[in-house]
Amino acid sequence: MKYYDLHVHTNVSVGENSLEEIVEQAKRLNIDGLGITDYFSTVDEFMRRKKVKRPDIDIVFGVIIRAETESQLKKTVNAVRNKAELILVHGGNYEINRLASEMPEVDILAHPELERRDSGIDHIVARNMGENNVALEINFREILESFKKHRAYVLSNMRRNIYLAKKYNVPIVTTSSAYSIWGMRACRDLASFANLLGLDLPEAIATVSSTPEQIITSNRRKLANRVDTRIGDEL
Amino acid sequence: MKSQPKILPPSLRQKKRYIIFKVLSEKPVEYMELVQSIWRSLLNFLGELKTSELNIWIIKNLFDQKTQRGLIRCSHKEVEYIRSALALVEEVGEVRVLIKVEGVTGTIKSAKKKYLGYKDLTDFK
């Protein structure tokens, strides 16, 4: 079984470590595939990114989009879709969450409950995510960096989101969202959090293995063919 | 578009119970201090993970300073956990207290009617 962690930052944007250091750490943690997601201000910047090929580890070059307005999100997603192997949307704002759930081009909606008192997802967003195959992210850094009462709220919101995701068949991925190599964890350990938050163990393990693998293979196939297909389409 | 999620349909909502408690103490306690003590007790006794399952909410505007009665909303399956955590509260601020659970109801309306002494139920604020 292959293990994937689809949300890791490097020092190109907010992270602390270089890509090489992260890859070394991933090898120590037995991670087979790594999604390198960074914030970029322009598309050219993403294209200029140093793309390292490693035979021993599968590196997926993606972007995470932090948009303030709806039009900005649409524009950015359309600009990078034919170039990036993975598109994440920085969630938290309900309007952005909802719009991202309506876009089949988006792969993962990252931390929809970030800095919110509620879970950031209602039945409409969950249904859209199910229909458009936008995956829900369980973000380990949010759990790691919160404590006491706040951590209880974060876990509670995540549990809510997982409950809705299960109802509407939304794919779920668990990621470390690490800013440095010390924020990374072995994928099987991340799956245990998904298990505690309401998924069965096989489902929880799928959130770090088969679900991310499917997302990546389908994206790569589409990028290779260069056909303008929708991500939500059946493989 | 609203910046808040929509209210879920009834079948998807979490099932709730309301716990009515009364604070017995040497002198009246403040709401904010009480909330802090309850949260401390929950987190120390049950831990962060179990507390996250309780879906707990201490309702501010239903805490009566005079009678020292209040209401806690929680998940319908976890009432006993909260009862036990409330039983472990010893101090609020520097006042020695004990918290007595008076009853558990399924709605705020019936809690008001049975335990909080509301006669006129037209005021649902």
Residue type, B73: R
Mean predicted confidence (pLDDT) in A54-73: 88
pTM for the predicted model, two decimal places:
0.87
Mean predicted confidence (pLDDT) in A182-203: 92
Tokens of B42: 């929950």
For residue A120, the distance in angstroms to the closest alpha carbon of chain B comes to 6
Mean predicted confidence (pLDDT) in A160-167: 94
Identify the three-state secondary structure at position B69. strand
Of all residues in chain A, the one with the smallest CA distance to B9 is: A123
DSSP letter for A215, please. H
pLDDT at A196: 92
What distance in Å separates the CA atoms of residue A85 and residue A221, rounded to the nearest whole number? 10
Q: Could you tell me if A83 lies within 8 Å of chain B, comparing CB atoms?
A: no
Cβ distance B52 to A119 less than 8 Å, yes or no, reads: no
Give residue-wise pLDDT tens across range B50-99.
999 999 999 998 898 999 999 999 999 999 999 999 999 988 988 899 99
Cβ distance A123 to B9 less than 8 Å, yes or no, reads: yes
Q: Percent of chain A beyond pLDDT 90?
A: 58
H or E stretch at B1: none
pLDDT at A235: 45
Q: In what order do the strands lie in the sheet containing B57-58?
A: B57-58, B69-75, B16-25, B95-105, B91-92
Average pLDDT, chain A: 89
Match 């493989």 to its residue by tokens.
Answer: A235
Q: Percent of chain A beyond pLDDT 70?
A: 95
DSSP letter for A145, please. H
Of all residues in chain B, the one with the smallest CA distance to A168 is: B12
For chain A, give percent helix, strand, coil, nearest 5.
45, 15, 40
pLDDT at A131: 94
For residue A181, the distance in angstroms to the closest alpha carbon of chain B comes to 25
| Mutate: best of A101, A121, A123, partner B, most B CBs <10 A | A123
pLDDT at A48: 77
Tokens of A210: 């088969």
Whether A228 shows a pLDDT value over 70: the answer reads no
Q: Could you tell me if A166 lies within 8 Å of chain B, comparing CB atoms?
A: no
For residue A5, the distance in angstroms to the closest alpha carbon of chain B comes to 23
For residue B9, list chain A residues with Cβ-Cβ distance below 8 A: 123
| Mutate: best of B48, B50, B74, B75, partner A, most A CBs <10 A | B48
DSSP states of A8-19: E--TTTT-SS-H
